[in-house]
Amino acid sequence: MFDSDLNVFYAGGSGGFYFLHCLLLNKQHFCHFPRQIDITLHPVLRLEKTDYDNIKTNTQWPSYEEYLILGNAGNPELISAEQQWAFNYEMVPGWFDKQFDVIHSKNWNINPQAWKSTEIWPRNQDTLVRSCTDRKYKIFYTCAGVIDDVEEWLKWPGKKIVLYTDIRTQLRLAMSKKAWYYYKAKNNQDKINIIKKEIRQSKVYKQCDVGLTAFEALQHADESVKLQDFIKLMSSDAANKQQQQFTHQWLNYHSHDLRRRSQLG
């Protein structure tokens, strides 16, 4: 699935985190998250030269070039520093899988009344300059609320993928999660105004009414993915067991009425 670096865009309320985690569960792609686990595989971790020079306490320590080859040699100061500041921990075999297991568990420990409170966001700038020994490809990830964000998305490399859904499903999902424009909506009148504005400004894409921001992004897409179609794919034998289980979990976070009205499954 998508055998290349990806540059993913979605407008709020379109299932972006579900899409991202399904892609990562395929174990081909990597993106940099804030570190969630302690690093214990000391021998393969390395400090930047400035950090190494800053903690070097005597002339008996090896040169930085020797340190890159030899590692910490059991030095407790180096071990402690590597755990905090090592620059290459994504290169530790198996590390990203362990990190992502923790992130996935935390991210989807959902309180339906505070859906966004558990989100753990990847960092595109760090993804750009990092590599991962276990995963060949990168994902750059942009969520947009306004058209201006399309320009930010276009700055990142990779095949341009736009995840979208019809405007009414997007509004229902966003309202249920207090996401997108609903994140700051103060009262019911605010919500009504959002609905009227977004439906009025919607455009037709592949016989589907989509929000204006999504429509603008779709003009630049190498590939477009409709949320409902992706859910069907992840529920089928084309998906792996983890993707299937996660799809079932994600759908169950939504009310039966919302799933029925939005044809999510």
Q: What is the per-residue pLDDT across 34-82, written as a single tens digit (0 to 9) for each?
A: 877 666 655 678 888 889 999 888 778 899 888 888 888 888 888 888 8
Residue 210's pLDDT is what?
Answer: 96
DSSP string spanning 116-169?
GGG-----HHHHHH---TT-SEEEEEEEESSTHHHHHHHTS-SEEEEEE--HHH
Which of these, 195, 194, 212, lies nearest to 203 by C-alpha position?
212
Q: How far is the C-alpha of 37 from the C-alpha of 99, rounded, in Å?
A: 6
List, in order, residues 6 or more apart from 170 with CB less than 8 Å away.
11, 12, 13, 14, 180, 198, 210, 211, 214
Contact 35, 84 (CB under 8 A): no
- Mean local confidence (pLDDT), 132-154: 87
Cα Rg of the chain (Å, integer): 22
pLDDT band with cut points at 50, 70 and 90 for residue 90? confident
Q: How far is the C-alpha of 260 from the C-alpha of 172, rounded, in Å?
A: 11
Q: How far is the C-alpha of 161 from the C-alpha of 217, rounded, in Å?
A: 9
pLDDT band with cut points at 50, 70 and 90 for residue 182? low
- Mean local confidence (pLDDT), 103-111: 93
Residue 184's pLDDT is what?
Answer: 66
pLDDT at 222 over 70: yes
β-strand 29-30 against 203-205: which pairing, if any? unpaired
Residue 125's pLDDT is what?
Answer: 95
Residue with more model confidence, 2 or 153: 153
Q: What is the mean pLDDT of the chain?
A: 88
- Cα-based distances in Å from 192 to 109, 186, 198, 262: 30, 11, 10, 19
Residue 42's pLDDT is what?
Answer: 54
Tokens representing 209?
């009414």
Structural domains in the chain, sorted by start: 6-36+93-262 (3.40.50), 46-87 (no CATH)
Tokens representing 56?
């070097």
Contact 181, 12 (CB under 8 A): yes
Eight-class DSSP state of 42? G
pLDDT at 13 over 70: yes
